[in-house]
Amino acid sequence: MDNISFDDFMKVDIRTGTVRRAEPFPEARKPAIKMWIDFGPEIGEKKTSAQVTAHYTPEELIGKQVIAVVNFPPRQIGPFRSEVLVLGLPDEKGEVVLLAPDQDVPLGGRMH
Output the average pLDDT for the chain: 95
**Per the structure, how many domains does the chain have?**
1
CATH code assigned at 55: 2.40.50.140
- Evaluate whether residue 109 is within a structural domain: no
What's the pLDDT tens digit per position in 15-65?
999 999 999 999 888 999 999 999 999 999 999 999 999 999 999 999 999
Say if residues 68 and 19 touch (Cβ distance below 8 Å): no
- Evaluate whether residue 32 is within a structural domain: yes
Strands 45-50 and 65-69: unpaired
- Evaluate whether residue 79 is within a structural domain: yes
**Alpha carbon of 26 to those of 1, 16, 34, 36: distances in Å?**
36, 26, 10, 16
- Evaluate whether residue 55 is within a structural domain: yes
- Evaluate whether residue 112 is within a structural domain: no
Say if residues 92 and 54 touch (Cβ distance below 8 Å): no
Residue 57 is part of which domain span?
16-98
- Evaluate whether residue 106 is within a structural domain: no
Confidence of residue 84 (pLDDT cuts 50, 70, 90): very high
- Evaluate whether residue 89 is within a structural domain: yes
Q: Give the global pTM.
A: 0.94
**Alpha carbon of 102 to those of 38, 65, 67, 82, 84: distances in Å?**
18, 9, 11, 26, 21
* Alpha carbon of residue 94 to chain centroid: 17
- Evaluate whether residue 104 is within a structural domain: no
SS3 state at 103? coil
Q: Cα-atom radius of gyration of the chain, to the nearest Å?
A: 14
